[in-house]
Amino acid sequence: MKHLSEEELYALSQEPSGAGHPHFRECPHCADAYDEVKRLLEATAAAGRVSEPTPDYGEKVFAAIQASLPVYGQKQSQRKWNWWGQNGRLIFAGGVASLALVAGAFWAGSAWQQRQAREETAKWNRGAPSRVVFVVVRDHLDRSERLLMELDHAGHLTEVDRGPIASEASELLEDNRLYRQTAAASNDPALAALLDRLGRVLIEVAHDPATLEGGASGTIREDMNLDGLLFELRVLRDKEGAHGRGGEDTKETKS
Amino acid sequence: MEGDRDAYRHLVVRHSPSVFKTACRITGNAADADEAVQETFLRAYLQIRKFELRADFGTWVYRIGVNCCIDLLRKRRRQSGWRVSEQTEFGEMSIQPVDGAAGPERLLLSGELEGKRRAAMSRLTEVERAAFTLRHMEDKSMQEVGDLLKISSDSAKQAVFRAVQKLRRELRPLWVKALDKQ
């Protein structure tokens, strides 16, 4: 009798009905080999149950890497400074001679251009937060969307179901307050308004999980127009994404 | 610009626990997992311009995390050559016992098996180890494993199969022992 190859045995172990393969009834050798593969995979799955890190784990990781995180603006100017340190004297000597010739004509035009560029940069800096901030807000909107969708699709919620939803809402609520304040301060009324509405839903879910009882998520859905909020959130998130990319492009073009 | 770092703290706090768990599974110990997590978030910060804003940050950083773990395994191998260790050197990692309700002999065997399994895992190549872990501990599909390791799904399948083959060969004496005890 021809035995199954190791590859065939592994492939069978990945099928739900693999153990019932007709060959195993006739061939105890292959049945044992199949059993070995299954045991190995079960032991592996059991070993994969890693315990949760401590609640302050993220803070510890951040504390460990914080000093190594460059401040983007500073890093760029420092790099420029180093470059000047190495090559500046040579360039300066050659440049002075040629600069003297064109300085007069150049001055008027460049002064005007520099003023324009400074105004544009200042305008961009006022209106657009950095890329990291975009990613953070995006992450917050993604998480909120997932929670709202969970609520939107929730039917009857037991106490066990409510716990994680309420605690997720509670976490989001805290971040949401900070982002709303930042959005309001940075003159982004659309985002501030959305975060305000989102905050109201999160308060309901986090502080009064009983409102989720027995399909009361339907009440939230209707009272707070959950579908509308979800739609608005997706539109704004896409807009924020496009804005982030646009801002980045602008930044790169300038540098 | 200092705000970048403050904002990034939120991302680290939010996503580092899940990256840590994956790193623990791939590297096999908490100390290496910690190192991989720190490297992951440092690398993510430096590469943030490459992040596609429509994508999910968690998925993106997970991918970086897997690569950092593979790099760390390579580094460890370069540092000490192929490690052939019979004992469980991963004391810090917290892992559930295979069978908590079993009798003392069986528990001893479970412990022995776990030690041998880890030692056998440490002898796999980095890609075999990562592919096997992603498939059988992280429950990823072959396509996902391939995407994460930047190889085709066929190559991922082969890597996982080679790992199963090697592990099975190394652990066979213990299965026989276990059957004898029953």
Looking at CA atoms only, how far is residue A118 from chain B in angstroms? 17
The pLDDT value recorded for residue A93 is 72
B121 neighbors B32 (Cβ within 8 angstroms): no
The torsion angles phi and psi of B95, rounded to 5 degrees, stand at -130, 145
Chain A residues close to B138, C-beta within 8 Å? 48
- Give me the residues of chain B with pLDDT under 50, please: 1-2, 82-102
> Does B93 contact chain A (CB < 8 Å)?
yes
- CATH code of domain B102-182: 1.10.10.10
User: What is the torsion angle, in degrees rounded to the nearest 10, for the CA atoms of residue A222, residue A223, residue A224 and residue A229?
Assistant: 20
Chain B residues close to A70, C-beta within 8 Å? 46
Q: Above 80 in pLDDT, residue A179? A: yes
The pLDDT value recorded for residue A51 is 83
The pLDDT value recorded for residue B143 is 94
Question: What ranges do the domains of chain B cover?
Answer: 1-80, 102-182
Q: How far apart are CA B94 and CA B86, in angstroms?
A: 19
The pLDDT value recorded for residue B126 is 92
Chain A nearest-CA residue for B113: A43
Chain B residues close to A30, C-beta within 8 Å? none
Mean pLDDT over each residue of chain A, to the nearest integer: 73
Question: What ranges do the domains of chain A cover?
Answer: 6-42, 129-254
Interface test with A, best of B2, B6, B10, B135 (most A CBs within 10 A): B10
Between residues B107 and A22, the one the model is more confident about: A22
Contact A129 B3 (CB under 8 A): yes
pLDDT tens per residue across span A83-142: 555 566 666 777 777 777 777 776 767 666 666 656 555 544 444 456 677 778 778 888
Contact B164 A72 (CB under 8 A): no
DSSP A133-177: HHHHHHHHHHHHHHHHHHHHH--SB-HHHHHHHHHHHHHHHHHHH
Looking at CA atoms only, how far is residue A10 from chain B in angstroms? 7
Q: Which tokens is A114 given?
A: 């520099």
Looking at CA atoms only, how far is residue A21 from chain B in angstroms? 20
> Does B107 contact chain A (CB < 8 Å)?
no
B82's CB contacts (< 8 A; 6+ apart) are: B123
A5's CB contacts (< 8 A; 6+ apart) are: none
Contact B53 A10 (CB under 8 A): no
pLDDT tens per residue across span A195-233: 888 888 888 877 766 665 545 455 665 666 667 777 777
Contact B57 A7 (CB under 8 A): no
Q: Above 90 in pLDDT, residue A168? A: no
The pLDDT value recorded for residue A146 is 83
Share of chain A above pLDDT 70, in %: 63
Q: Which tokens is A50 given?
A: 């890693």
The pLDDT value recorded for residue A19 is 84
- Report the complex ipTM: 0.78
The pLDDT value recorded for residue B60 is 92
The torsion angles phi and psi of A178, rounded to 5 degrees, stand at -65, -45
Looking at CA atoms only, how far is residue A112 from chain B in angstroms? 27
Please compute, for residue B114, the number of CA atoms within 13 A of its CA located in the half-sphere on the CB side.
Answer: 23
Between residues A221 and A67, the one the model is more confident about: A67
Architecture of domain B1-80: Orthogonal Bundle (1.10)
Contact B8 A64 (CB under 8 A): no
Q: Roughly how many angstroms between the first and final C-alpha of chain A, as a whole number?
A: 72
Nearest of A248, A244, A50 to residue B27 by alpha carbon: A50
Looking at CA atoms only, how far is residue A64 from chain B in angstroms? 7
B62's CB contacts (< 8 A; 6+ apart) are: B18, B19, B22, B148
pLDDT tens per residue across span B89-136: 333 333 333 444 445 555 555 677 778 888 888 889 999 999 999 999
Chain B residues close to A240, C-beta within 8 Å? 53
A-proximal residues of B, 26-85, CB under 8 Å: 34, 37-38, 41-42, 45-46, 48-49, 51, 53-54, 56-58
User: What is the torsion angle, in degrees rounded to the nearest 10, for the CA atoms of residue A16, residue A17, residue A20 and residue A23?
Assistant: -100
B157's CB contacts (< 8 A; 6+ apart) are: B142
Task: Name the packing angle between helices B2-27 and A131-153 (round to 10°).
Answer: 60
Beta strands in B32-93 (DSSP E): none
Looking at CA atoms only, how far is residue B172 from chain A in angstroms? 8
The pLDDT value recorded for residue B171 is 82
Q: Model's pTM, two decimal places?
A: 0.62
Q: How many helices (H) and strands (E) does chain B have?
A: 7, 0
